[in-house]
Copies of this chain bind each other. A is one copy, B any other.
């Protein structure tokens, strides 16, 4: 029992190993060479005493907190399970680098970032769900806090960004449908509102899809309420009677689309193919289950953390990184 009130300090370890405190520090950090014998003795003392450096003291002396912040849009419409996967991935990867993760909500906004920077409570941060016009971006640039963004703001100059390669996602969907032998195919996109909010990604999916499909493909925007989906699908089928393949890039609409197709006499999975761009649950919850291209939240998180760690170590990192989408068959 290491004494309940007092914590074990580096001095205790040093005393037990018969060395100076600084030596213990060097053994632990590896910043100077220490003879194997001494190192062993120190490590033994560390283990015996269950020593862990005091985080505050370390951060004060070394100007490195060993903590990174993760700012998530915890309240609004983001798809919760995906966020959670992301958080989980980030924490796991961070622990691999001996870092802890501080959780912030996006509604702390720019002033939250300022607080993080000024209080030196974290070494860097990861900003999730960055929008095209994001008020946090300017603050971030000004603060000079090392950071990695998930998503691409309009002006990404000097920032490190990571995101799903949506163009590739569009391509993957088109390829899937074509390989299944579909002649005419279409992409049912998001509602106008989504396009406006974060122009980038919807546009890119479209390009990827059309680039692969050629003239046999079309892209239709689509609202997400049941009625409008019914109508849109009906119009689409009328306009392209030979349509046998559909990619849906609109999470809430997937269920409605399936109904509409079934109403129109299409047998999905048999004479008609559907592929979804979106999280697994969406594609799994309909009948029949659909193949889907998912946002690889975990990979995204890992990549973001890894990039941040490189920046903290003063290494070069690519400004923009696109993560390959993954097609899951079902």
A residues near B (Cβ < 8 Å) are: 1-2, 4, 7-8, 50-60, 65, 67, 70, 74-75, 80-81, 83-85, 87-88, 91-92, 95, 100-105, 108, 114-115, 118-121, 142, 144, 255, 285
Contacts and interface: CB of A to CB of B under 8 A. Distances in A.
Contact of A88 (B8, B74, B108): B74
B108 A95 contact: yes
Given A54-B60, A60-B60, A103-B70, A4 B144 contact: yes
A8 B60 CA distance: 14
A118 B52 contact: yes
Contact of A59 (B55, B85, B144): B55
B60 A88 contact: no
A119 B59 contact: no
Nearest to A5: B144
Given A59-B56, A60-B60, A65-B55, A91 B120 contact: no
A102 B104 contact: no
B120 A55 contact: yes
Contact of A103 (B8, B102, B108): B102
Contacts of A80: 80-81, 84-85
A71 to B, nearest CB: 10
A315 to B, nearest CB: 20
Closest 5 CB pairs of A and B: A56-B59, A52-B118, A55-B121, A74-B88, A80-B81
Contacts of A53: 119
A189 B297 CA distance: 32
Nearest to A75: B88
B108 A121 contact: no
Contacts of A115: 52
Contacts of A142: 1
Contacts of A108: 95
Nearest to A88: B74
A88 B101 contact: no
Given A56-B59, A65-B55, A50 B84 contact: no
Given A54-B60, A60-B56, A91 B118 contact: no
Contacts of A60: 54, 56-57, 60
Contacts of A52: 114-115, 118-119
Nearest to A60: B56
Nearest to A118: B52
Which among A83, A85, A91, A100 has the highest number of chain B CB atoms within 10 Å?
A100
A7 B56 contact: no
16 contacts: A52-B119, A53-B119, A54-B119, A55-B56, A55-B65, A60-B60, A67-B102, A81-B84, A87-B87, A87-B103, A91-B105, A95-B108, A100-B103, A100-B104, A102-B102, A103-B103
Given A53-B119, A75-B88, A87-B87, 18 more contacts: A7-B118, A50-B114, A52-B118, A55-B56, A55-B59, A56-B56, A56-B58, A56-B120, A59-B59, A67-B102, A74-B88, A80-B81, A87-B103, A91-B105, A95-B105, A100-B103, A100-B104, A101-B103
